[in-house]
Structure 1
């Protein structure tokens, strides 16, 4: 247990280390502010005693002016401390956000298949925001509170030890209670964050599928799930809040007792003539001031419980390891790449195997047409080539190199893939086509888009390549998005390209016009084309027919087309009959 706490502290200070200079400035400002808070009651005490003794008016005015100056300086310092505290917190936690996002982006697809975008937003931003709220006031309120407590109690022991003992007992018991119950609401708060993540995931999921929800009358069902998720969040949130406020309620009771005892002792001492009226006020004022840091400590215990649940969830994510272990190699032969699958088997889960002992090879520059029914394993082959998943067994080589020995960056630099779904990012058209890589010239972009038929669309845009696009892809038609994806991949000049249903969103005329451009762009690379339309495969060299994760047929396209009994020939005949019909 102690070791885990030490690890948590070490993990926390790892993110505070880069802002240690600001922390030092913050601490010095905090000490100055605390000193001013202790001085002002002394000025008021002197003012009361001077007035009670019928002192000169000029002296009273001087004390009033000094009080005003100290109060203004203290207020300015308070604002500066709050600003710097929030600055430190955001700098530290933004580094944590960046680490979380980068780590999540490097995790394998199995992880991302289990996490909704809504849940990931809550993990990367929501949990860290709770930590930021705690960090921003941790030094200001925790350290400041202890410094103020030490100053008040130290002075009181010098002035009047019986009252100081009462204050010390109140302080010690209050802090003891808060330490004892500091983790009381952590688990409940963690459950609250999980309930909120589930709610955000539900909202994101249903908004993304709004067309299906509306078209199929699913609104009542969605609202039912929404209300259940909201109820779960309410119940977990209420429980977490009730547990988090226990320290604050305890300090309120203790403070009431402490104020009562201090006032009774103070009045007794004043009536006995042992203290002045100003000193009696000072006792009361310092007791009130004593409650402020205690209350702040209680509030921070609540924030600590939120922050600790966020730390747990963040460390849980950072401790996850991707199934995809990068190799050390970064060298692949130049030019078009050969492809080899050797006895490759794969499954998304242990109960259902998707690919069974797949073996085939492509020479550099060859084009493979991959066909088969839905669920036959076509897309799985492309995902394995890009190492989105690990194989269960077997070896995959590109350019004669086992892809497991390569760095992922080296693999992605040479292998490109056009998927059916196109993701647009918030940025210019140029940034979206090059994925924010500045090494591609405008001439290359325009030349590629000219070949693929996007140039006329770009010319019609108000600012050409500088036109701003919104995230999500709503500003593109389905056909434009398909052409967009082709452009994006071919701008990288891949040595191996995978086209996953490249014409699924294109009409027959556009596909025919585009085919020549795609052929031209693929002259210098090996290609694997996954298609349902057989017209897309007219210029491939080889055909592979998959069925239930097995190779039913593999060979030269021409030879398979001329063999009446082949699967491919049967598919061609069926396709012609459908066209005639």
Structure 2
């Protein structure tokens, strides 16, 4: 057996193992249903032979009643088997969905920068749905088909071996052909899934940027891209379908040949008086029944191709490893935390270094303001502090501890970050403020929002903290969103706070309110403020000026402000002139 096939089988049973008892019940129901399918044609055989021999009417009524009971029982079992099969499939594949989502959430930002949300939705849900369809019918149709085949052939060998041999040859050839061409459409189906993922990624990307698309007249371009992506989905889907139906077409041809041969043999034996009319019916009926499991096996070969392509793509996702490896340290010193950068270098790709030889120290409780032109590396520095990326070289220490030796949970408990973009989640106002941490008391939330100036907004909500918010954040103004983000961080009681352009979208009055909230937030922690507006940096202790990924200037704010030759002093003069203008 090839390694890849072994891995596929291992994957199937790995996720089916937790539902093994349900599978056992399902198999029991399946065997019973198969037995009933084999019994009913034999009842009809006896009915025909009894009627041909002009048997008792009471006996015929008894056989008719037995047929009805068996048929109804079999139908009820068929429904139950279908329900149980889908239940097993969803339970098994939902575990896989959870594994995929958990793994994706743990991957580093380099991975997520290359994958759109739409593509990841297709990977986590679309691919697994194809596997779910296969899992749902694998036990029911694959195992059931083999059991039914064995029952039909076994009975026929006991009754009429020439016909049984003909059926066996047809069965073996059909199964052999399907096994041989089972992978015909796997690669094409994989390409089809990738085309669908690209289409979903395109739609998600363009809808998320709808304002820019509409404002800049980009709708025709987007539609052109959409039609090209749809054409790719159509072409790859058509090719995949054509390759997947090959097994089914082969079985149809083989079945036509088998039925012809069996009927010729059966009619010939009946005319010679070697079998009864009922037995001829039984031969015909079993031949027809033989086609059902063969056809189901053919259909499942198609589903297997879809499932296998999903398995490949799912294993591909799970094979990615995050470059962010957790350390073992569980805690940091209490109180405000110092920050040290020691010859740190960083790049998003090898051709473009973003930060070069960054070295500075920040004492516990100090506030650092970082300024610089767009692309100077300000936001990259904050992302390194939160280990969204690894440094190329150098060491970053928080509280004297190398952040690479820390568990990520220990780092995030003590370091908070506020950005200019605030994400709301589908949930209550309370859930959004605490990020679904049920341990935070309502009284603490109310007191915090009162201090930060968000209480009036909460009081306007129809159900207070129980008000349901929708994802996205459209119900918040820019100022409210920033206060909202500050409240989130405030409730975690961080020892180091990073503010990345917190006031870039605010007017002067709202910025003043925000600054008061920031001052409260940083009373007992170390702070790093990244800003374009120098007014945001009035109360920082130190200033860092970045340019082209290097530290151009670093020192005490007051000293740099009073040094007319410093870069920061020049920025202050430019800022005042712009305000006067």
Question: Normalising to structure 2: TM-score of the pair?
Answer: 0.99
Contact 1:34–1:147 under 8 Å retained in 2: yes
Offset of residue 140 of structure 1 = 0.1
Corresponding residue SS for 2:329: coil
The answer to whether residue 539 in structure 2 is matched with residue 539 in structure 1 is yes
Whole-Å Cα distance in 2 between the matches of residues 479 and 500 of structure 1? 15
Offset of residue 473 of structure 1 = 1.5
Whole-Å Cα distance in 2 between the matches of residues 291 and 245 of structure 1? 16
The residue number in structure 1 matching 2:281 is 281
Offset of residue 503 of structure 1 = 1.1
The residue number in structure 2 matching 1:174 is 174
1:494-573 equivalences in 2 (<5 Å): 494-573=494-573
Residue by residue, what CA displacement relative to the aligned partner does 1:485-512 show, whole Å, maximum 9, x if unpaired? 1111111010001000111222111111
The residue number in structure 2 matching 1:485 is 485
The residue number in structure 1 matching 2:154 is 154
Contact 2:133–2:303 under 8 Å retained in 1: yes
Contact 1:89–1:132 under 8 Å retained in 2: yes
Whole-Å Cα distance in 2 between the matches of residues 468 and 362 of structure 1? 41
The residue number in structure 2 matching 1:130 is 130
Whole-Å Cα distance in 1 between the matches of residues 374 and 429 of structure 2? 34
1:431-510 equivalences in 2 (<5 Å): 431-510=431-510
The answer to whether residue 207 in structure 2 is matched with residue 207 in structure 1 is yes
1:316-331 equivalences in 2 (<5 Å): 316-331=316-331
Offset of residue 331 of structure 1 = 1.7
Corresponding residue SS for 2:324: coil
Whole-Å Cα distance in 1 between the matches of residues 339 and 305 of structure 2? 53
Contact 1:482–1:505 under 8 Å retained in 2: no
Question: Normalising to structure 1: TM-score of the pair?
Answer: 0.99
Corresponding residue SS for 1:41: helix
The answer to whether residue 31 in structure 2 is matched with residue 31 in structure 1 is yes
The answer to whether residue 418 in structure 2 is matched with residue 418 in structure 1 is yes
1:12-161 equivalences in 2 (<5 Å): 12-161=12-161
Which structure 2 residue ranges, 5 or more long, are not aligned?
none
The residue number in structure 2 matching 1:343 is 343
The residue number in structure 2 matching 1:255 is 255
Whole-Å Cα distance in 1 between the matches of residues 3 and 196 of structure 2? 30
Offset of residue 513 of structure 1 = 2.3
Whole-Å Cα distance in 2 between the matches of residues 57 and 115 of structure 1? 73
Whole-Å Cα distance in 1 between the matches of residues 517 and 230 of structure 2? 52
1:179-198 equivalences in 2 (<5 Å): 179-198=179-198
Whole-Å Cα distance in 1 between the matches of residues 511 and 378 of structure 2? 21
Offset of residue 11 of structure 1 = 2.4
Offset of residue 2 of structure 1 = 2.0
Whole-Å Cα distance in 2 between the matches of residues 82 and 243 of structure 1? 27
1:222-261 equivalences in 2 (<5 Å): 222-261=222-261
Contact 2:370–2:545 under 8 Å retained in 1: yes
Corresponding residue SS for 2:554: strand
Offset of residue 556 of structure 1 = 0.5
Offset of residue 14 of structure 1 = 1.2
Corresponding residue SS for 1:265: helix
Corresponding residue SS for 1:308: helix
Whole-Å Cα distance in 2 between the matches of residues 514 and 280 of structure 1? 90
Higher mean alpha-carbon deviation, 434-443 vs 149-158, is at: 434-443
Which structure 1 residue ranges, 5 or more long, are not aligned?
none
1:380-391 equivalences in 2 (<5 Å): 380-391=380-391
Whole-Å Cα distance in 2 between the matches of residues 474 and 12 of structure 1? 43
Contact 2:8–2:308 under 8 Å retained in 1: no
Whole-Å Cα distance in 2 between the matches of residues 328 and 4 of structure 1? 35
Whole-Å Cα distance in 2 between the matches of residues 197 and 235 of structure 1? 14
Runs of at least 4 residues off by over 4 Å: none
Contact 1:342–1:360 under 8 Å retained in 2: yes
Whole-Å Cα distance in 2 between the matches of residues 118 and 307 of structure 1? 20
Whole-Å Cα distance in 1 between the matches of residues 68 and 479 of structure 2? 71
Contact 2:36–2:74 under 8 Å retained in 1: yes
Offset of residue 450 of structure 1 = 1.3
Corresponding residue SS for 2:122: helix
The residue number in structure 2 matching 1:402 is 402
Offset of residue 482 of structure 1 = 1.6
Residue by residue, what CA displacement relative to the aligned partner does 1:439-494 show, whole Å, maximum 9, x if unpaired? 11111111111122211111011100000011121222222222111111111010
Offset of residue 298 of structure 1 = 0.2
Contact 1:195–1:229 under 8 Å retained in 2: yes
The residue number in structure 1 matching 2:378 is 378
Residue by residue, what CA displacement relative to the aligned partner does 1:374-423 show, whole Å, maximum 9, x if unpaired? 00000000000000000000000000000000111110110010112111
The residue number in structure 1 matching 2:2 is 2
Contact 1:354–1:377 under 8 Å retained in 2: yes
Residue by residue, what CA displacement relative to the aligned partner does 1:267-287 show, whole Å, maximum 9, x if unpaired? 111110111111000001000
Whole-Å Cα distance in 2 between the matches of residues 476 and 578 of structure 1? 29
Whole-Å Cα distance in 2 between the matches of residues 520 and 187 of structure 1? 59
Contact 2:482–2:514 under 8 Å retained in 1: no
Residue by residue, what CA displacement relative to the aligned partner does 1:539-573 show, whole Å, maximum 9, x if unpaired? 11000000000001100000000000111111111
